[in-house]
Structure 1
């Protein structure tokens, strides 16, 4: 894959990480914080995946798959917790 394209994608992902982290830290509600933290986590996982492609270290992609599964399970858990607290 084109290294310049990977570098551009890394910059774009880094720029999207800033507002997501801000929303996760300062969100007015628990749902805003959960969404911001979840988005920041998945952007971080995407950055790790792109770095694995950039450096040709494909064994890191196993860690990305596991982190994605853990992130999905934590998102579902947070959604259930928030929906129960609103009742």
Structure 2
């Protein structure tokens, strides 16, 4: 049962990545592209956590947390720049 749920999690994560790549390429505005990049970072974090679970290497969860914090700071910087500049 757990393996089935993990397989579904991988499938949905890859589908989310595919849809966000499509939005990144076809996005009519820069804000759409920024959001697509943010979604891609979130799905990358999910993939890192799933790899940590499948591989039994839970040190990767720490890597995912650091990557999430850096992604959050990057999105804040881009949002501030797009709002009024540095």
Q: What CA RMSD, in Å, does the superposition of the two structures yield over aligned residues? A: 1.5
1:40 CA displacement: 0.9
Q: What is the TM-score normalised by the length of structure 2?
A: 0.89
Q: What is the TM-score normalised by the length of structure 1?
A: 0.88
Unaligned runs of 5+ in 1: none
Task: Report the count of equivalent residues.
Answer: 85
- Partners of 2:26 and 2:78 in 1: CA distance: 17
Tell whether 2:60 aligns with 1:68: no
Q: How does 1:37-56 map to 2 (within 5 A)?
A: 37-56=37-56
Moved over 4 A (4+): none
- Partners of 1:61 and 1:39 in 2: CA distance: 18
Unaligned runs of 5+ in 2: none
